[in-house]
RNA sequence: GCCGAGAUGCUGGAAUGGUAUACAGUCCAGUCUCAAAAACUGGUGGGCGCAAGCCCAUGAGGGUUCGACUCCCUCUCUCGGCACCA
């Protein structure tokens, strides 16, 4: 036994191999005793490789999985690569390597790194989204969406990233820029495939109440779905449009109580038939404005926020409440996707309307009066708008009623009765734009026939393999690089009539690949269907899903939607894929999120080489609460390395390997160990890894200071407690001389499949306790007393009074009150003299 | 603007309403050494004091309580999500 130092290089290599050879982390997928699907969000591989942020995510998840395994669970912890998509493709373009080639390199490097970090992955079940065996079923999913009316191709104004040269889903535009490359997104009219996720808006919202997720993520989803109830109100056009139609303009509002104060209407530039409302004299101006507005990027619109622009159409509408003629304007601050894309202008009671009305000299009309005279006068004079609560005025029969209570309700009923208003719920959620004009993704399995229209590829013809296209770069003309695929691929008989038809050349969004992968893992080797229903029944839904909050309205929303759809099609019997989700924090470096552009990405390789994977993962977990993330620093990790070496030395110098009943583990150490077991057991189950590690350190400190060696059976318990954190060294010690002892033997029992220690309750019961003595709530002394006596209030109080110092202090006044918490403390409250 | 999370030593952080600052990192001193590293020992919130000890401190200010980092109210700041949302 070499007690001097632990060599992680050889040990980590040896045990990684042994675990795989002996299939330590491969549960029986068909007949597990106690299945536990422990899943972490799978990574996008990149050529830079895994960074410590990934490792942080995987380590926490793995430690939790190891704990569950030692609790007797058959833990299934698969790993794979989300390798299709813009992220990987952009990198390939940047370095000028074909994505197919780059994928191979990234895969090799990623799996090497994932094998080195100490996670107990079920390697036999890995999957890659770019593997035709996988994307066969991604395409199958698309076909099901189409057959069930949830996929449709429609022309609409969509987000276009000029750098990635593709359209994007709303969820992939953050603050007006492309989620991937941070380029300002433009708006473009284009015909695209959509998934009808909005059909599930209510279910997606309602189910949030029943899933155990971080409040933060649940809230983000609630906000994104953005369900709001309001009133849709119809306005008739005054006269007809220039082409003779009697147009009706509907607005949507939550504040219909200000109905009598409407002085104009504003339409979004995208509003249907907006041009036909304009009269001849204004038509040119209106056209020019619309054209300009449509070409603005999201960011440009933001810049214009303060300075609202708009044009008058020359047309008027009739306010159904007052029969007044009100002008119709067009302005780009009105968004087509909010409500109906038309807004009623109530400048006296809406700040934005006020700004707009002032700029274009539109009339103001007060219909709510306020208690505060200053405010009321200002509103009456048209000096400002006010949005607070008040009483209705100038509102016909509703005047004098409260604007938020009775008046609001009555007006609603009235509008519904008169049939120009109706209740309508609106959502922020849009249908999921699924098409991408890119190369590196699964081709959308649809065929367009001149006669039969869009037809899905028959399922027995799947997969439609991604053809090799030498010039894979996106073109920017709105067409996919697959337009350059060989004619033999591009053209195919129509599945319905057999005539020559053309394939869809767009590929699907990366997020479709990851929207169902957790269903595939338990049956990756199944060839004839996307997943084996028996295994789905056994393993799903996922017991613990661990990932970052950055996917709150991306992956996590899409996966829920797909699961709900599959349930409705009878493939699944649950509608939530992840009933329990733990959102881990973010590892930052030098106060900033790790990113290539900042140059602060930390690759774990050198740290693993220098300090060991064990030390690195434990260090990462010790940084702070797992859901908070932390700042990565070199200094901290060497500290963890020292601790690891210290543990190694303790095991090699202070363990009594031979049974000697005359020298058991000292009581002091034994009690500390029991407490440690209790603390770790509770903390591990709740992802409180940092405090778990701190307790292990305390225990090791007691061990280190203890004069005697620890008995082997006790040392084994301690070893098991930190095995999830330092799986390699724990295995090394275990096999060497503690529990397994199978080094060199044929059979192999890993510490990681051994059972988690239980503590002895009787050892936790203290014989004596320390009582805290306070005077007026301030700590003034302490004493030790027999644990039984400590429960006797009178005795404790007497004993406390007996303390010299306390007695001295009590002379300062008379004791007004004595608070005794049995077994804990005494507090004397003094009446001041 | 709305929603969510948070603010504790020099730093990361710990604390069922009951000993604030656990556990680490950092730094300082010592032991060992020719020396260094490693390891080990001690110290490390501020103030007063030779000391025993006392006073102050958990973003700010109030409140509840015998007792508040913890519960309630107001405010400030930081981070995250949403947002010309009608």
Strands A325-331 and A592-593: unpaired
Q: Can you say whether residue A706 is alpha, beta or left, with left for phi > 0 and alpha for psi between -120 and 50 degrees?
A: beta
In sequence order, the β-bridge partners of residue A191 are: A155
- Per-residue pLDDT, averaged over A739-766, amounts to 80
pLDDT one-digit tens code per residue, A189-210: 889 999 999 999 999 999 998 9
- How many angstroms separate the CA atoms of A433 and A510, rounded? 11
Return the nearest residue to B67, CA–C1': A777
Among A68-72, A299-303, A495-499, A649-653, the range scoring the smallest mean pLDDT is: A299-303
A244 has pLDDT over 70: no
Under a CB-based contact definition with an 8 Å cutoff, are residues A535 and A524 in contact? no
pLDDT one-digit tens code per residue, A401-421: 888 888 899 999 999 999 989
pLDDT of residue A272: 79
Rounded distance in angstroms from the CA atom of residue A536 to the C1' atom of nucleotide B12: 42
pLDDT one-digit tens code per residue, A590-626: 667 776 666 778 889 989 998 999 999 999 999 999 9
Q: To which residue do tokens 């804990």 refer?
A: A824
pLDDT band, residue A246 (cuts 50/70/90): low
Measure the CA dihedral A172/A177/A183/A186, to 10°: 90
pLDDT of residue A2: 44
- How many angstroms separate the CA atoms of A240 and A108, rounded? 68
Rounded distance in angstroms from the CA atom of residue A215 to the C1' atom of nucleotide B61: 30
Half-sphere exposure (Cβ direction) of A707: Cα atoms closer than 13 Å: 3
A3 has pLDDT over 60: no
Rounded distance in angstroms from the CA atom of residue A704 to the C1' atom of nucleotide B41: 13
- How many angstroms separate the CA atoms of A686 and A330, rounded? 55
Rounded distance in angstroms from the CA atom of residue A26 to the C1' atom of nucleotide B22: 39
- Per-residue pLDDT, averaged over A167-179, amounts to 83
pLDDT one-digit tens code per residue, A82-127: 999 888 888 888 888 999 999 999 999 999 999 999 999 999 999 9
A813 has pLDDT over 80: no
Q: To which residue do tokens 């006269």 refer?
A: A239
Give the dihedral sign, CA A113/A119/A120/A122.
Answer: negative
> Hey, what are A135's tokens?
């994307």
Return the nearest residue to B82, CA–C1': A223
Under a CB-based contact definition with an 8 Å cutoff, are residues A542 and A206 in contact? no
A529 has pLDDT over 50: yes
Rounded distance in angstroms from the CA atom of residue A603 to the C1' atom of nucleotide B32: 38
A743 has pLDDT over 70: no
The enclosing H or E element of A13 equals: helix A8-21
pLDDT of residue A762: 83
Rounded distance in angstroms from the CA atom of residue A622 to the C1' atom of nucleotide B14: 12
Question: If DSSP states are collapsed to H, E and C, what string results for A521-584?
Answer: HHHCCCCCCCCCHHHHHHHCCCCEEEEEHHHCCCHHHHHHHHHHHHHHCCCCCCCCCCCEEEEE
- How many angstroms separate the CA atoms of A40 and A547, rounded? 6
- How many angstroms separate the CA atoms of A59 and A275, rounded? 59
Among A31-45, A49-63, A543-557, A743-757, the range scoring the smallest mean pLDDT is: A743-757
> Hey, what are A572's tokens?
């699944």
Give the dihedral sign, CA A729/A733/A735/A738.
Answer: negative
End-to-end CA distance of chain A: 71
Under a CB-based contact definition with an 8 Å cutoff, are residues A502 and A451 in contact? no
Q: What is the DSSP string of A150-178?
A: -EEEEEEEEEEETTTTEEE-GGGEETTEE
Nucleotide closest to A627 measured between CA and C1': B5
- How many angstroms separate the CA atoms of A388 and A370, rounded? 8
* Cis peptide preceding A463, ω within 30 of 0: yes
ipTM of the complex: 0.93
Strands A710-711 and A655-656: parallel
A1 has pLDDT over 60: no
pLDDT of residue A833: 47
Q: Which of A385, A280, A366, A291 is nearest to A330 (CA)?
A: A291
Cα-flanking dihedrals φ and ψ of residue A763, to 5°?
-75, -20
Rounded distance in angstroms from the CA atom of residue A765 to the C1' atom of nucleotide B38: 40
- How many angstroms separate the CA atoms of A257 and A409, rounded? 8
pLDDT of residue A297: 65
pLDDT one-digit tens code per residue, A684-723: 999 999 999 999 999 999 998 887 888 888 999 999 999 9
* Residues with Cβ within 8 Å of residue A433, at least 6 apart in sequence: A158, A159, A167, A168, A169, A170, A192, A193, A194, A509
Q: What is the mean pLDDT of chain A?
A: 88
Nucleotide closest to A827 measured between CA and C1': B66
pLDDT band, residue A296 (cuts 50/70/90): confident
Residues A256-279: b if buried by 16+ CB within 10 A, e if exposed: bbbbbbbbbbbbbbbbeebbbbbe
> Hey, what are A763's tokens?
């050892």
CB neighbours (10 Å) of residue A794?
9
Q: Which of A307, A321, A242, A254 is nearest to A280 (CA)?
A: A242
Return the nearest residue to B68, CA–C1': A777
Give the dihedral sign, CA A431/A437/A442/A444.
Answer: positive
Among A140-144, A566-570, A780-784, the range scoring the smallest mean pLDDT is: A780-784
Q: Which of A470, A686, A436, A714 is nearest to A582 (CA)?
A: A686
pLDDT of residue A531: 96
A170 has pLDDT over 60: yes
pTM: 0.92
Rounded distance in angstroms from the CA atom of residue A619 to the C1' atom of nucleotide B32: 29
Nucleotide closest to A337 measured between CA and C1': B85
- How many angstroms separate the CA atoms of A577 and A515, rounded? 10
Q: Which of A335, A344, A355, A387 is nearest to A231 (CA)?
A: A344
Under a CB-based contact definition with an 8 Å cutoff, are residues A723 and A71 in contact? no
Dmax (CA) of chain A: 108
- Per-residue pLDDT, averaged over A497-525, amounts to 95
- Alpha carbon A799 to its chain centroid, in Å, reads 56
> Hey, what are A61's tokens?
């998840």
A300 has pLDDT over 70: no
Kindly give the interhelix angle for A52-70 and A613-622, rounded to the nearest 10 degrees.
90
* Residues with Cβ within 8 Å of residue A375, at least 6 apart in sequence: A384, A386, A388
Measure the CA dihedral A23/A25/A28/A32, to 10°: 150
- How many angstroms separate the CA atoms of A457 and A95, rounded? 35
- Alpha carbon A499 to its chain centroid, in Å, reads 46
A19 has pLDDT over 60: yes
Residues A301-329: b if buried by 16+ CB within 10 A, e if exposed: eeeeeeebebbbbbbbbbbbbbeeebbbb
Nucleotides of B under 7 A from a protein CB: 3-5, 12-16, 18-20, 22-26, 38-41, 54-55, 66-68, 80-86
- Per-residue pLDDT, averaged over A44-68, amounts to 90
Nucleotide closest to A350 measured between CA and C1': B86
Under a CB-based contact definition with an 8 Å cutoff, are residues A683 and A696 in contact? no
């Amino acid at each position: 036994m070499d007690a001097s130092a632990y060599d992680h290089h050889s040990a980590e290599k040896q045990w990684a191999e042994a675990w795989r050879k002996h299939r330590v982390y491969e549960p029986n997928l068909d007949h597990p005793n106690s299945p536990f699907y422990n899943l972490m969000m799978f990574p996008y591989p990149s050529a830079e490789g895994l960074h410590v942020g990934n490792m942080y995510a995987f380590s926490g998840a793995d430690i939790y999985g190891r704990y569950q395994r030692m609790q007797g669970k058959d833990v299934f912890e698969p790993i794979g690569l989300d390798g299709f998509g813009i992220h990987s493709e952009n990198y390939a373009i940047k370095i000028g390597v074909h994505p197919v080639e780059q994928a191979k390199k990234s895969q090799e490097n990623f799996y090497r790194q994932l094998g080195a970090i100490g996670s107990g992955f079920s390697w036999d079940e890995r999957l890659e989204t770019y593997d035709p065996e996988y994307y066969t079923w991604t395409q199958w999913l698309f076909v099901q969406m189409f057959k069930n009316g949830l996929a449709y191709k429609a022309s609409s104004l969509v987000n276009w990233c000029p750098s990635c040269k593709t359209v994007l889903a709303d969820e992939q535009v953050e603050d007006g820029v492309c989620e991937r490359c941070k380029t300002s997104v433009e708006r473009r009219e284009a015909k695209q495939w959509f998934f009808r996720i909005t059909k599930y808006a209510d279910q997606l919202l309602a189910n949030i109440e029943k899933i155990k997720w971080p409040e933060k993520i649940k809230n983000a989803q609630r906000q994104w779905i953005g369900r709001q109830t309001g009133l849709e109100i119809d306005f008739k056009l005054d006269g007809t449009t220039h082409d003779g139609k009697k147009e009706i303009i509907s607005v949507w509002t939550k504040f219909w109580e200000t109905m009598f104060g409407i002085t104009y209407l504003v339409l979004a530039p995208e509003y249907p038939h907006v041009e036909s409302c304009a009269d001849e004299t204004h038509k040119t101006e209106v056209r020019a404005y619309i054209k300009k507005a449509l070409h603005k990027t999201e960011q440009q619109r933001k810049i214009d926020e303060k300075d609202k622009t708009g044009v008058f159409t020359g047309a008027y509408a009739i306010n159904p409440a007052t029969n007044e003629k009100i002008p119709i304007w067009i302005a780009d601050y009105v968004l087509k996707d909010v409500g109906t894309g038309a807004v009623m202008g109530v400048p006296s009671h809406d700040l934005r309307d006020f700004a707009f009305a002032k700029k274009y000299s539109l009339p103001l009309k007060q219909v709510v009066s306020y208690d505060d005279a200053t405010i009321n006068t200002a509103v009456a004079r048209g000096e400002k708008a006010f949005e607070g609560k008040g009483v209705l005025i100038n509102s016909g029969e509703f005047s004098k009623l409260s604007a938020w209570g009775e008046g609001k309700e009555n007006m609603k009923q009235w509008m519904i009765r008169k049939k120009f208003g109706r209740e309508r719920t609106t959502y922020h959620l849009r249908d999921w734009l699924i098409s991408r004009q890119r190369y590196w993704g699964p081709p959308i399995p649809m065929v367009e026939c001149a006669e039969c229209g869009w037809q899905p590829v028959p399922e027995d013809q799947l997969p439609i393999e991604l053809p090799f296209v030498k010039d894979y770069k996106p073109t920017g003309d709105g067409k996919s690089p697959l337009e350059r695929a060989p004619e033999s691929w591009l053209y195919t008989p129509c599945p319905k009539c057999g005539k020559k038809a053309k394939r869809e050349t767009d590929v699907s969004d990366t997020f479709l690949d990851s929207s169902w992968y957790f269903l595939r893992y338990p049956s990756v080797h199944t060839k004839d269907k996307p997943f084996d229903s028996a295994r789905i029944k056994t393993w799903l839904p996922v017991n613990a899903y661990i990932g970052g909050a950055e996917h709150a309205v991306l992956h996590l929303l899409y996966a829920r939607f797909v699961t709900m759809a599959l349930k409705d099609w009878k493939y699944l019997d649950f509608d939530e894929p992840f009933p329990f989700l733990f959102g881990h924090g973010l590892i930052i470096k030098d106060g900033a999120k790790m990113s290539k552009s900042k140059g602060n990405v930390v690759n774990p390789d050198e740290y693993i080489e220098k300090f060991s994977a064990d030390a690195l993962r434990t260090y990462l977990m010790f940084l702070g609460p797992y859901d908070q993330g932390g700042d990565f620093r070199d200094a901290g990790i060497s500290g963890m390395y020292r601790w690891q070496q210290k543990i190694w030395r303790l095991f090699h110098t202070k363990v009594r390997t031979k049974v000697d009943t005359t020298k058991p583990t000292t009581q002091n150490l034994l009690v500390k160990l029991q407490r440690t077991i209790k603390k770790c057991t509770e903390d591990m189950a709740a992802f409180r890894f940092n405090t778990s590690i701190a307790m292990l350190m305390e225990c090791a400190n007691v061990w280190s200071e203890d004069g005697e060696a620890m008995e082997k059976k006790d040392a084994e318990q301690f070893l098991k407690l930190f095995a999830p954190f330092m799986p390699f060294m724990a295995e090394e010690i275990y096999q060497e001389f503690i529990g397994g002892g199978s080094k060199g033997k044929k059979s192999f029992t890993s510490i990681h499949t051994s059972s988690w220690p239980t503590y002895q309750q009787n050892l936790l019961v203290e014989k004596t306790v320390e009582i805290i003595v306070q005077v007026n709530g301030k700590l003034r002394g302490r004493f030790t007393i027999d644990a039984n006596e400590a429960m006797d209030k009178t005795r404790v109080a007497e004993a406390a009074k007996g303390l010299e110092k306390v007695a001295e202090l009590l002379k300062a006044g008379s004791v007004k009150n004595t608070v005794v918490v049995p077994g804990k403390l005494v507090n004397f409250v003094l009446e001041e003299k």
